[in-house]
C-alpha cells in the first residue's frame, strides 16, 4: 500500500468542494449496480475523518435506494455526485469518493477493481 495524500475535488459547477486524504495506489471500485453503472463512478471509500467538505452543504440533495444505507449526494445545480456518505461494515462513518471528481487524478492510471453490485 502507498501513503495517504491530500486531494481536492467537487462537482462540475464548483459549488460543492472538498478535501480528502486517500491512497490512490489502492484499487478503486467500479460497481455495476443500477446507479454506479449508469453514472460510471469509480469509488474510493475513506473513513469520514479523512474527508472535509469545504463548501456546498446547502447545495446537496440526498437520494437513497435499495438497502437505504448510502446517502447519495448530488449537487442541486449541476447534478454531479462527487461523494456519498454511509457506514462501513463495522458501523463507523465512511465517505465514498467518486475519484472521477478529484481535481488532480488521471483515472486511466488508477487500479480499477470490478464489483458486482447488481447481484447484491
CATH fold of 5-115 reads 2.170.150
- What span, in angstroms and rounded, lies between the C-alpha atoms of 83 and 87? 13
User: Residue 38 is inside which H or E element, if any?
Assistant: helix 36-39
Instruction: Please give the residue that has the higher pLDDT: either 62 or 98.
Output: 98
pLDDT band at 1 (very low <50, low <70, confident <90, very high): low
With CA atoms as reference, report the closest residue to 44 among 89, 94, 118.
94
Are 63 and 57 in contact by the 8 Å Cβ rule? The answer is: no
Q: What's the mean pLDDT in 34-44?
A: 83
Does the predicted TM-score (pTM) go above 0.85? yes
Q: Sheet containing 28-31: which strands, arranged edge to edge?
A: 60-63, 71-75, 83-87, 93-98, 43-47, 28-31, 112-115
Amino acid at each position: 500500500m502507498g501513503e495517504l495524500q491530500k486531494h481536492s475535488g467537487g462537482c462540475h459547477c464548483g459549488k460543492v468542494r472538498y478535501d480528502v486524504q486517500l491512497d490512490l495506489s489502492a484499487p478503486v471500485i467500479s460497481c455495476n449496480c443500477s446507479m454506479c453503472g449508469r453514472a460510471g463512478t469509480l469509488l474510493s471509500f475513506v473513513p469520514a475523518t479523512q474527508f472535509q467538505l469545504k463548501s456546498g452543504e446547502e447545495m446537496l440533495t440526498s437520494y437513497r435506494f435499495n438497502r437505504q444505507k448510502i446517502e447519495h449526494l448530488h449537487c442541486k445545480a449541476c447534478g454531479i455526485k462527487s461523494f456519498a456518505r454511509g457506514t462501513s461494515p463495522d458501523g463507523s462513518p465512511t465517505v465514498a469518493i467518486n475519484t472521477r471528481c478529484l481535481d488532480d487524478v488521471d483515472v486511466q492510471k488508477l487500479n480499477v477493481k470490478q464489483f458486482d453490485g447488481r447481484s447484491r
